[in-house]
Structure 1
Amino acid sequence: MSGNTVWNAGWSTSVQRPSTGFDENWAEEGFADQTVRQVVRVTGSGTAARVRLSNRFGDAPLEVRGAALARTDRGAAVQDGSTRRLTFAGAGSVRIPAGGEVWSDAAEVSVAPFEKLTVSLYFARPTGPATFHAQAFTTAYRAAGDQSAAADAAVFTETTVSWYFLADVELSGGPARQDTVVTFGDSITDGFASTADADHRYPDALAERLADAGLGRPVLNAGIGGNLLLNDAPWYGERAGARFRRDVLDQPGVRTVIILVGLNDIGFSEADEAEFPTFRPNPELSAAEIIDGYRDLIEQAHAAGVRIVGGTIMPFRGAEYHTPDAEAKRREINAWVRTSGAFDAVADFAAALADPSDPEVLRAAYDSGDHKHPGDAGYRAMAAAVDLASL
């Protein structure tokens, strides 16, 4: 393809430094003479695709000896005849410097919104700890040796629910889009407690709702479980303000961002340190400080010509870090989000998911069981709470 190819958003995730997580993952051990096969669902369409691989948090160069792209069949299986070897500046392998990233060349593949693509990466030499996305809620598969073009899914005998080194899929084959929506935030945006491999996160439901309304457009998920607005965290990614440009504003054709972040900034300082040792850093922050963090995101978005929708923080009484002080901060922040006029629009998730008889509690039908994260029905209710005209 020519250098004039137009690339539109297809799929994206926010990368993190290697760490342990809520589920077992392979990030800290990395890979050696192994193939990792990963599945993503795109919300755009095209006739060709390229992938971005990230070694942002690697402490040594990363060698990818082989890579392939295919249309997904089921699980680790791919559709017959759809596998395309990926190249990088014409070569079948690539070396990515520590802290760097690389785009593959274009691979011809026809894909429609809500179809799935499979990306397989072979690492011949030890990678060291892996840049990854911890809470994918999508199964990744591992096999010994070079199985990047394997047709037999049975060779992939190990699984986790994280993504490794894979950061973006972009699609070409149509005019440039200027209507991408990015959802940005913490575990509630990431989709914690949603059904694995079912694409039932709220951004997924929002993309489907837009399509059903005849307003189909790319919707990207830039959530990181545990993410903080104001502080970097070893387990939960760079602070929202620091990653906002890379994960939101640098996406192709971005028009609107919906933010939902701040719950962990409120709650980490309230949790028992012995019981929740990963809730770090955990300084006590005022509502005013968190609101100032929102103002920074708003300023960044507007400077880039991007609309920004503020999401209200949902009820969480009964969760591990709910206290009267935390509840007071949530109410103060939500009142500001609703009434300040600082955002271009508001998505009142709190009102949509609260128990009508007790606004400090998630409605039981929407609660995943931890009194903080919605389940699948709750994520659908969140998507329904977004005014499509605001996008």
Structure 2
Amino acid sequence: MNAQKIALTLPLAAALLAATATTTPASAAYGGPWSSAWGASPQRPAHTSWFPNWSEGGFADQSVRQVIRVGAEGSEVRVRVTNRYGKTPLKLTGATVARTAGGPAVQPDSVRALRFEGVESVTVPAGGELSSDAVALPVKAFEQLTVTFYFEGPTGPATFHNVAMSLSYRAVGDHRRDASADAFAAGAPSFSWYYLAGVDVKNPRPGAAGTPGGSRKAVVAFGDSLTDGYGATPGADLRYPDQLAKRLVADGRSRPVLNAGIGGNKVLGDSECFGESALARFRRDALGRPDVGTVIVLEGTNDIVQPDGPQDHCTAGSPKVTAEEIIAGHRELVREARTRGVRVIGATIPPFHGSRYWTERGEDVRTAVNHWIRTGGAYDGVVDFDRVLAAPADPAHPKEIKIKDEYALAGDRLHMNDAGYRAMADAFDLNSL
């Protein structure tokens, strides 16, 4: 065990050191009345079979229109643009933000040009992130906004977020101010977001929905595709973090719940397609927002299943890991949260028997990790997704635990449907947040 701990220490330390060096100017641009209203974790450009995307080709003389849902009320908004994985500076010719009118259409009287230090065109350094100037556009919590970027010249491969579960559209030419959907109607949309890191709001009054400070600080849901919401109805905002935010509002505790999931993400290993490991990206994606008060960690499924599933360029080279190794990774995440004064909630790993990834070895690892999350005392609180989602076990086959039929994504049995994500949101003791 001591040798194993020593072997783990070096990569963990290296990952955390790398994460420390990625702070961007926008990450320090909080303060006063500004708070996070929406965010997505950036990924390097990649081809993935589950969600084909435009990231590898990038854009040239194209407008990219993207729909998001804000989780906090505000009198003004600003948009954060990321070139995190760009190898060259990104020239953004111009951008707008508007209220969504369905699909790629926007409400005409709501279209606002985005400026950066007073000018519409901006260059985002390779590896960098920038915030726009404030825009006077009052928004309500759970309102959908549309952000349109126009790139006159070629961007090269695009930093993006693969599993958006929301449609994005593109059109040839400069259509950032178009209210109609006409220019964006040709061609298939994408289920991913591009160059879009976040949206912040300026709150109009103390106590408004999502106001930072005290118990109203943001909640960050950090994890993999179960946090990203793979299997939820596209465009309906029914991922478990979305539905948890609605519960908080209904209970009079309105605060933004920000999604920092990446489909396929692992605790311990980076992936060409599924992002840097949880250890490497935790400081940036979970703790990098100064207004975060609580982080929910749901990670470990992919460390278990990827070595046992079909291998492709996204999963090749995934080593089989032990429960002890995954637990050591979780301990590092808890330690990092504690050093920032952030409350951290551990989520148990749901069952996946019946999926093409299940093995008895994997089930033993999942069971051991879940036992530690429940009883180890490392987390400030626990949400037991495993017990909420699991169907009763067959006494003759006690290890073959499945997701309840009413919660499982049909033909998949690894991810949830809308009802399953609702059950995950309902599993929280809101006081634990």
TM-score, structure 2 normalization: 0.88
1:108 is paired with a residue whose SS is strand
Alpha carbons 1:16, 1:57 under 8 Å: kept: yes
**Given residue 282 of structure 1, which amino acid in structure 2 is its aligned partner?**
S
Does residue 1:331 correspond to 2:367, yes or no?
A: yes
- The residue number in structure 2 matching 1:365 is 406
Q: Distance in 1 between matches of 2:233 and 2:181?
A: 22
| Match in the other structure for 1:182 | 220
Displaced runs of 4 or more, over 3 A: 2-5
Give me the whole-angstrom Cα distance separating, in 2, the residues matched to 1:3 and 1:254: 11
CA positional deviation for 1:271: 1.8
SS of the aligned residue for 2:108 comes to: coil
C-alpha separation between the residues in 2 aligned to 1:25 and 1:272?
21
Structure 1 stretches lacking a partner, 5+ long: none
Identify the match of residue 36 of structure 1 among 61, 64, 67. 64
1:25 maps to 2:53: yes
Cα 1:372–1:3 change in 2 (3 A) is closer
Q: Shift of residue 269 of structure 1?
A: 1.4
Where 1:167 maps in the other structure, the secondary structure is: strand
Alpha-carbon distance between aligned partners in 2 of 1:324 and 1:3, rounded to the nearest angstrom:
47
Name the structure 2 match of 1:163. 193
Q: In the aligned structure 1, how far is the partner of 2:51 from the partner of 2:360?
A: 31
1:267 match: secondary structure: helix
The one of 258, 261, 266 equivalent to 2:304 is 266
Counterpart amino acid of residue 254 in structure 2? G
The Cα of 1:73 is off from its aligned counterpart by: 1.1
1:50 aligns with 2:86: no
Deviation at 1:284, TM superposition (A): 1.1
Of 298, 309, 312, which aligns to 2:334?
298
* 8 A Cα contact 1:234 1:280, kept in partner: no
Query: 1 CA distance for matches of 2:47 and 2:232?
Result: 20
Shift in alpha-carbon separation, 1:105–1:38, aligned structure 2, 3 A: same
Measured after TM superposition, the shift of residue 280 of structure 1 is 3.4
Aligned equivalent of 1:191: 229
Offset at residue 3 of structure 1 (A) = 9.7
The answer on whether the counterparts of 1:233 and 1:281 sit within 8 Å (CA) in structure 2 is no
Shift of 1:373: 0.3
Identity %: 49
Query: AA paired with 1:125?
Result: G
Question: Residues 82 and 109 of structure 1 are in contact (CA less than 8 Å); yes or no, is this contact kept in structure 2?
Answer: yes
State the partner residue of 2:167.
139
Alpha-carbon contact 1:49-1:108 (below 8 Å) kept: yes
Whose strand fraction is larger, Structure 1's or Structure 2's?
A: 1
Q: Distance in 2 between matches of 1:88 and 1:326?
A: 49
Higher alpha-carbon deviation: 118-127 or 356-365: 356-365
Q: Aligned to 1:255, which of 293, 297, 302?
A: 293
Q: 1:280 to 1:3 in 2, by over 3 A?
A: closer
Q: What amino acid maps onto 1:361 in structure 2?
A: K
Distance in 2 separating the partners of 1:97 and 1:281: 32
The one-letter code matched in structure 2 to 1:235 is: C
Instruction: Map residues 1-391 of structure 1 onto 2, 5 A cutoff.
Output: 5-21=32-48, 22-156=50-184, 157-158=186-187, 159-173=189-203, 174-175=205-206, 177-178=212-213, 179-273=217-311, 276-358=312-394, 360-369=401-410, 370-391=412-433
Q: Any unmatched runs of 5+ in structure 2?
A: 1-28, 395-399
User: CA shift at 1:281, angstroms?
Assistant: 3.5
Letter paired with 2:136: E
Deviations 1:67-108 (A, max 9, x none): 001111111111121001000011110011111111100011
Q: How many residues align?
A: 388
CA contact (8 A) 2:272 2:313 kept: no
Tell me the C-alpha RMSD between the 2 structures. Answer: 1.4
> 2:221·2:297 contact (CA, 8 Å) conserved in 1?
yes
- State the 1:357 CA deviation: 3.8
- Partner SS, residue 188 of structure 1: helix
C-alpha distance in structure 2 between counterparts of 1:243 and 1:375, whole Å: 27
Structure 2: which amino acid aligns with 1:197?
G
